[in-house]
Amino acid sequence: LVPELLTLYCTNCRLTGLQVNLEQKLFGQHIASKVLLKAVTDFVNKKTQKKPLVLSLHGLTGTGKNFVSELLASNIYKKGMSSSFVHQFVTTLHFPHISKIDIYKQWIKGNVSSCDRSMFIFDEMDKMPPGLIDSIKPFLDYYDNQDGVSYRRTIFIFLSNAGGETIKQVALEFWKNGKDREEIQLSDLEEKLSLEVFNNKYSGMWHTSLIDKYLIDFFIPFLPLEYKHVHMCALAEMANQNMEPDEDIADEVAKAMIYSPKEERVFSSKGCKEITSKLVQVDKKTKRLEE
């Protein structure tokens, strides 16, 4: 395992690689960036742990939950998401039938690696059959080991749209009151988020013991994205595609997105999720006009 691991700190550098990535690539998520940076760097660099690190990421589609998981993997493992120590489960793909919940439980347990620095990502938690996630509770608890294997240095990440509307309402209230979104703190959302997820039958964590036993270390809210963030996403995607940065095209891409609520049009309904396709459409349109 050691050769494949990266250190989150670089020699003689003022900033960590993860911090640089979060600052330069994750837009509009000041709460998530701050919490993730501290939680992950502290966990990875601490020699002894009492339990695995368990992160639950919540927010509407396109706000950066999957993207930040990739950033974490790329800053911990040399091969990033392609590492043999990173295991990703997508609910609709891996756990489609609730009637087979016992089989899925055994599958999850069977995929828990003996490597003490593994990362497990559970995507679309809001579509997870109720009770299934409790099957991995023993691996998240304060145990020395399970069947001779210690999981105290493992990272578990849950991704969910559940709680997204609550997060959106809090952000909208701040906007209506003329407050800057950067004034929103984790304390404004964390308790509301955990309660909604725990009491929502469609959250995948409905009445789960992971919550009432306090095994989830952080409920991390991802705020809905505004026009300026979509604009930044468009410029970032241009750079990713080795295109010449064009403010006008980025502006057109941002304008092409649908915003909500209907009257205020504050937040992008799909975040930055459709940036790539919108960019292709706008770029083709621009080239036709030039011709």
Binding residues for ATP: 59-66
Distance CA 216, CA 53 (A): 8
Other Cβ atoms closer than 10 A to 62: 22
Fill in the DSSP letter of residue 119: E
Distance CA 258, CA 227 (A): 10
- CB contact set of 152 (below 8 Å; sequence gap of 6+): 48, 49, 50, 51, 52, 116, 144
- Residue with token string 């911990």: 76
Residues in binding site: 59-66
Q: Is the distance from CB of 236 to CB of 181 less than 8 angstroms?
A: no
Distance CA 9, CA 132 (A): 36
The two tokens of residue 75 are 């800053």
